A and B are shown apart, each in its own frame.
Chain A
Amino acid sequence: MSAVTGTISEDAPTLEDDGKTVQARPAPRDEAARLGFRLTLPAQVLVLFISAFPLLMQLYISVTDLSPLSGLGWWNAWSLWNSFANYTDLAADARFWSALKRTAIVMIVCVPAEFLLGLALATLFADDFPGKRIFYSILLMPMMVVPAVAGYMFFMLFQSGGPVNDILSSLTGSPVTIAWLSDPTLALIAVMVADIWQWTPLMFLILLAGLVGVPEDQIKAATLLGANPWQRFVTIVLPKMKTIIIIALAIRVIENFKIFDTLYIMTGGGPGVATETISVYIYKLTTQDLIWGYVAAIALAILIVLSIVAVFAMKRMARARQVPA
């Protein structure tokens, strides 16, 4: 082994080894970058304005008692300034907190369920089997369904005289008449079932893309080294999919937090407030209670929470990207 001394760095010198640096004039690349910045400045200002304006408007409204009943335009809302009463009210609003808790429960159940189901399906579809293409198309269909239509579908399915109870009846042999959507607990379960049904395909799709991107040679190498399928999955496949898993989870956490349309059509947030999530609560405050200042405060609070989630996810992604597969 004594001949194994030449390393590639000796044989392939790089420019970085050169040690020569420039002092006098800036490199043309920097000039080009500066010109580029100047040229795109108007567009950047416009984008900034478009995204920042609604935010600033919300912030402004959230410290007022603005309501359609006040008869004032939003720009005049300063006369309705209520210091930070909306925020202190929010802190004490039990209905808000229980809606938040309910939203969190839905997320904690749905996202992991969608993830595990999606991963299982993706693993299945990474190999070939007869009829794969047809199953694939069928599997993706729920994602294409308009959420309102999905809500209607599940509304019908979970009627006390609906197909779900029919199936349960024929399974148990005695007539089942569960009032799914009228029972507080069962209604929440029904809503979650609908969400899982609709969004598992998306999870499946993203994870499948990640799964086929895992280098086949590395899986073969692991097999040759004696790893069983489960060991290969845990030591090679999952680590290689880390980035895509984080992306998939982040997308679904953020989307699931905003759960509204399917749910509203199925239960309207009821019975009572049993399935009232943050979005449903905001909807009711805006259209029924008409307290816009308060809604703005809630909207901002939620935005902050979601931003924290997004920033965390992006940081993880950036770190994961430093290690290319």
Chain B
Amino acid sequence: MSAIHLQNLVKKFGDFTALKTMDLAIADGEFMALLGPSGCGKSTTMNMIAGMEEPTGGRILFGERDMAGVPMGRRGVGFVFQNYAIFTHMTVRQNLAYGPRMRGAAKAEIDRRVGAIAEMLQLTPLLDRKADRLSVNILQRVAIGRSAIMEPAIFLLDEPLSNVDAAFRAVMRTELKQLQRQFRQTMVYVTHDQLEAMTMADRIAVMDHGVLQQVGTPLEVYNDPANVFVARFIGAPGMNLLKGRPAESDRGLIVDLGPLGITPLLPGELAAALRGARGDVLYGFRPEQALLVPDGQGLAMRVSFVERIGARTIVHLGQGEAAVKTVFDNDVGLAIGDVAVVAPAASSVRIFDAATGLAMKAG
């Protein structure tokens, strides 16, 4: 019942297309993140699921049921707003009781349900507090509790952590994830922060400019990005992409990166995928998957900047126009001005068509 199907979903605002034919199936009980930069269409998608906006075309199904024409109050979705939209003129108790009260539940019934949900969310001692001066994690719990009391099959969350201090976000992330485990609802989570999506979601739908770019588990989108946008957007730092041209060497296929030299030998299946290709490609690898190799076996580049951030050291390398970031452990021992020779682990190399931006894969 609480699976969500978006079929050919389109949304236009006048001449502007906010969402271009989106197809997405979200399974019952799944935690799906809609991830992308601002203006990518993720919030529009969410608002249409909630019924706050009418699709211009396509269908939204909850289970088998078409949601066209079903008003937002009748869709049975819980919605957590970016600013939580807590009723500040009420107490925590009144906030939690709001839904059942509006549906005319009996007083005893309301008390029982509020008591249960408050207990679950550890809000019991705060029930009679006015809701206007609570800390942000309490507000988040009230917002979730207020929706959860209606026992919605679907929970929608609109960037709930974007107003939270960086230092506190980790705590809130853990809390949210545990709540989802408790309620086991289908959750759709909108965010522009790839870290949030990676750490919380079962699957991520990456969006850009109103177009769904890729859907997959966090590791799928990290390891096998469908295109250049996903490759750059996922990961911190994003994937390194170097422009070059496939070429045969005496031992097999390599990518000729011009002044940077040639890459190590491409692994078999990638080489097979590239054989027929014409034109420029982008040679991609993750900063964390770069290794320091002996001279002549990788790309020699000068260290332009070194950031040591806690457990890891980000080494920025540059040679002419080309720039690469690599992430090492702190004992890497590179300083600005050094020349480093790096090569990606063979299995981590990804190739993209420079013209279309799409990943090139075997078969």
Contact = CB atoms under 8 A, between A and B. Distances in A.
Bound pair: A and B? Answer: yes
Interface of A: 1, 3-4, 6-9, 11-12, 215, 217-218, 220-228, 231, 235-236, 239-240, 242, 323-325
B147 interface: yes
Contact of A323 (B50, B88, B98): B88
Interface string B111-133: 00000000011100000001010
B88 A11 contact: no
Nearest to B87: A218
A98 to B, nearest CB: 42
Q: Could you say which of B85, B103, B167 has the most chain A C-beta atoms within 10 Å of its C-beta?
A: B85
Interface string B55-84: 000000000000000001110011101110
B171 interface: yes
Interface string B97-115: 0110011000000000000
Contact of A227 (B73, B79, B89): B73
Interface string B154-171: 000000000001011001
A223 B147 CA distance: 12
14 contacts: A7-B138, A9-B135, A12-B165, A12-B168, A220-B81, A222-B87, A222-B98, A223-B72, A224-B77, A235-B87, A235-B98, A235-B102, A240-B89, A242-B89
A225 B89 contact: no
A323 B130 contact: yes
Interface of B: 50, 52, 72-74, 77-79, 81-83, 85-90, 98-99, 102-103, 120-122, 130, 132, 135-138, 141, 146-147, 150, 165, 167-168, 171, 174-175, 178, 182
Nearest to B103: A226
Nearest to B149: A225
CB-CB nearest 4 A-B residue pairs: A8-B135, A217-B85, A225-B99, A221-B85
A11 B175 contact: no
A225 B171 contact: no
A225 B73 contact: yes
Contacts of A231: 102
A323 B147 contact: no
Contact of A226 (B87, B99, B121, B178): B99
B167 A11 contact: yes
Contacts of B168: 8, 11-12
A146 B140 CA distance: 53
Contacts of B150: 225-226
A2 B102 CA distance: 32
B102 A226 contact: yes
Nearest to A320: B89
A3 B175 contact: yes
A7 B137 contact: yes
Contacts of B81: 217, 220-221
A225 B135 contact: no
A6 B171 contact: yes
Nearest to A216: B85
B52 A220 contact: yes
A131 B178 CA distance: 51
Nearest to A221: B85
A224 B50 contact: yes
A96 B146 CA distance: 57
Given A215-B85, A323-B89, A222 B102 contact: yes
Given A1-B178, A227-B102, A239 B120 contact: no
A224 B81 CA distance: 11
Q: Could you say which of A1, A12, A226, A323 has the most chain B C-beta atoms within 10 Å of its C-beta?
A: A226
Contacts of B122: 1, 4
A8 B132 contact: no
B88 A324 contact: yes
A221 B79 contact: yes
Given A7-B137, A217-B82, 8 more contacts: A8-B138, A8-B168, A218-B88, A225-B73, A225-B146, A226-B73, A235-B102, A323-B132
Contacts of B85: 215, 217-218, 220-221
Contacts of B121: 1
